[in-house]
Amino acid sequence: MDTFTNSKEKRILVTGGAGFLGSHLVDHLMEAGHQVIVADNFFTGHKDNLQQWLHHPRFSLIEHDITKPLDLQEVDEMYHLACPASPPVYMANPVFTITTNTVGTLNMLELAKKTGAKILLASTSEIYGDPQVVPQTEEYWGHVNPVGSRASYDVGKRAAEAMFTSYYRQFNIPIRIARISNSYGPRLPEDGGGVVGSFIKQALANKPIYVYGDGNQTRCLQHVSDAVKGIVKLMESDYTHPVNIAGTERFTIMELAQLIKSLIETSSEIVKKEPRQDDPRLRQPDITKAKTILNWEPQVPLKEGIKPTIEYFRQQLRNNNVETGIS
């Protein structure tokens, strides 16, 4: 993965740094020569994702739930990524999810206020809900069900954005807001890896690939390396308004299922199930701002990036079989 060089070593906190996106961000920041502190309660993250840095002198890991205040004396930058991000996980744990998005975000903003750190929120394209406008620019307010099964996440992230902008207006805290769209790549969790992880896991096991609804829902996927570069560029900018960090290749859920099935050469059948409540049908974030303000756009095509992701899952399956004695 390419890195951005920095003339000054920074002390950087990454909440949720043991997770999928967080651990790739940590790799990037460590390779760039920074001091990195990860705060994670391992609810969805794994220490194995940080294995290569655990004994590095510039790296430290704090097992901590951000719904409790975190006391650090010196921080230059904060990447606030902590939160369950996969629908099955956050829908099964709605109270924890919305508490992380609200109380946890408040605690991190208070820490930024105390230390003077610049702080970036990993928001999401989910804040647009089930959009009625295509594509979705940052000015679009969205179409969100505040009492639906996804509300702990999408409404929680909207609340987090409101908290960030409130702290900026009242206390002049230097904020950045990245609305990150569906990301995939190695380290995507086996359970709770979103639609990509679910399809790959089902296909490798020769089990049915479940498509919820008619399969015509659209997603714009991006490789995790592109997502990391986008949020780092946003952090390094002076822009304080939300920016979409998203893929540009638009796929239907059915097309994605068919692609993964063909690449794995599985005997799995694609099976349609009842649609999930409030599942966005036409997700296509507009990335004009990212292109013009950050000089960023995704570089990894899905058909190129999905292959090493499949190999990662295949290796994880082998490892699990060895551990359980399955040949």
Question: Can you give the CATH number for the domain in which 119 is found?
Answer: 3.40.50.720
279: Cβ contacts below 8 Å, ≥ 6 apart = 130, 212, 213, 217
Question: Could you say which of 79, 90, 128, 153 is catalytic?
Answer: 153
Of residues 282 and 65, the one with the higher pLDDT is: 65
Tally of domains within the chain? 1
327: pLDDT strictly greater than 50: no
Q: Which helix (H) or strand (E) holds 57?
A: none
Q: Cβ–Cβ contacts within 10 Å for residue 87, how many?
A: 21
Q: Measured between alpha carbons, how far is 29 from 14 in angstroms, rounded to an integer?
A: 10
Alpha-carbon distance values, 114 to 34, 72, 117, 235, 298 (Å): 21, 9, 8, 19, 35
Of residues 177 and 193, the one with the higher pLDDT is: 177
Peptide bond preceding 146 in cis form (omega within 30 of 0): no
Mean pLDDT for the stretch of residues 96-117: 98
- 1 part of a folded domain: no
What pLDDT was estimated at residue 87?
83
Checking phi first, is residue 116 left (phi over 0); if not, alpha (psi -120 to 50) or beta? left
Mean pLDDT for the stretch of residues 3-28: 87
- 2 part of a folded domain: no
> Do 166 and 152 touch, CB atoms closer than 8 A?
no
Look up tokens 């009242």; give the residue: 170
What pLDDT was estimated at residue 5?
44
pLDDT in tens, 295-304: 999 999 998 9
- 141 part of a folded domain: yes
The residue range of the domain holding 100 is 11-324
40: pLDDT strictly greater than 70: yes
- 84 part of a folded domain: yes
Q: Measured between alpha carbons, how far is 228 from 162 in angstroms, rounded to an integer?
A: 23
- 86 part of a folded domain: yes
Q: Cβ–Cβ contacts within 10 Å for residue 94, how many?
A: 16
Mean pLDDT for the stretch of residues 22-35: 98
Q: Cβ–Cβ contacts within 10 Å for residue 183, how many?
A: 26
- 3 part of a folded domain: no
Is the dihedral angle over the CA atoms 193, 197, 198, 204 positive or is it negative? negative
Active-site residue flag, 153: yes
What pLDDT was estimated at residue 244?
98
Tally the C-alpha atoms within 13 A of residue 10's C-alpha that lie toward its C-beta.
19
> Do 196 and 188 touch, CB atoms closer than 8 A?
yes
83 — phi, psi (to 5°)? 170, 135
- 152 part of a folded domain: yes
Residue whose C-alpha is closest to residue 127's, from 180, 171, 75, 86: 180
- Which percentage of the chain shows pLDDT scores above 70? 94
Tokens coding 110: 């208070």
> Do 176 and 239 touch, CB atoms closer than 8 A?
yes
Residue whose C-alpha is closest to residue 75's, from 6, 13, 161: 13
- Beta strands 250-252 and 218-220, pairing class: antiparallel
> Do 32 and 4 touch, CB atoms closer than 8 A?
yes
> Do 59 and 30 touch, CB atoms closer than 8 A?
yes
Mean pLDDT of the chain, nearest integer: 92
Tokens coding 177: 């807001």
